[in-house]
Amino acid sequence: VAAFHLQDYQTAKVALEACHALSPEQRTLASWIRKNEQELAKLPKPVAAPVAAPVAEATPALPASTPAPVPVTPAVHRVRHEWYQNDSFVTVTVFIKNVKKDTVEINITDRALSVSVKMPTGSDYSLELDPLSHKIIPSESKYEVLSTKIEIQLKKDVFGIKWGALEGDDVNAGSMASVSASAPAYPSSSRKAKNWDALEKEAAKDEEKADGDKALNQLFAQIYKDADDDARRAMMKSFTESNGTCLSTNWDEVGKGPVETRPPEGMVAKKYNS
């Protein structure tokens, strides 16, 4: 491990493989071996120098031998991975196409994620996230192998916590609630974020504070609801016959005859077609 951190990967490989041979049950050693192999794969491959053919002394007519061909190092296929989160899960996406499920090995522990894939090209891919920045619940985590990617959902041990980093120490952890409150809940072209939840609550309060005709109608409805049958008949008769200018709950008075129209002061009652 010390040689690995000193970037002496060849020495680290010899030491790690020797330790693994002595203690094959140690899963940590396997993880370190994979990490070390990743780093070795990134190192430039040594190029064999062309071998010059010996020149015969006194036989200049002989053709010079052709230099040995230089082996071509296959290009390393770079694999991209991304991650995003919500209140419950951190989703890690590895973008590899046309991978068969039986060539994918994924190990999830409470603080680590290991992904090993046999690539369609025949090479091996490994992703080691150890340690993760926060604890997860392995039994409730899951993954899916798709035609264009591998999607891994890690169940958060603490609901609602916002991970500031995927791996290592997380000094920027916060609450997902603070993030959702500061962003628009619906698509918007405005540069200034709108708190739609607050606007919705404000609109609901405005509806509760009814005024004008709406408040008057609510008052009439409440009186009608609490009135007895005679009072209800009086209300209907007085309101209808007076063209909405009079409302009475006294049936003894209203029942004696038609209720006249009584317009507000300063106004004159007219027929509809006049």
Ordered DSSP codes for 205-273: HHHHS--HHHHHHHHHHHHHHHS-HHHHHHHHHHHHHTTTS-----HHHHTTSPPPP-PPTT-----TT
Residue 78 tokens, joined: 């770079």
Class of domain 80-180: mainly beta
Task: Give the residue with greater pLDDT, 241 vs 140.
Answer: 140
Indicate whether 141 pLDDT > 70.
Answer: yes
Q: Domains of the chain: which residue ranges?
A: 2-42, 80-180, 227-274
In the prediction, which pLDDT does 39 show?
Answer: 77
In the prediction, which pLDDT does 272 show?
Answer: 54
The pLDDT of 184-194, averaged and rounded, is 44
The pLDDT of 10-32, averaged and rounded, is 76
CA distance to 28, 132, 135, 154, 169, per residue, from 141 (Å): 21, 14, 12, 5, 21
Residues of 201-231 as b/e, b for ≥16 C-beta within 10 angstroms? Answer: eeeeeeeeeeeeeeeeeeeeeeeeeeeeeeb
- DSSP character at residue 167: B
The pLDDT of 183-189, averaged and rounded, is 45
Measured CA to CA, the distance from residue 37 to residue 8 in angstroms comes to 12
Give which of 225, 111, 199 is closest to 157, Cα–Cα: 111
Cα 160 from chain centroid (whole Å): 12
User: Is the dihedral angle over the CA atoms 20, 25, 31, 34 positive or is it negative?
Assistant: positive
In the prediction, which pLDDT does 117 show?
Answer: 95
Condensed to tens digits (0 to 9), the pLDDT of residues 46-61 reads 655 555 556 556 556 6
For the chain, give the longest Cα–Cα distance.
149
Q: DSSP alpha helices (H): ranges in the chain?
A: 2-5, 9-22, 27-42, 176-182, 196-208, 212-226, 229-241, 251-254
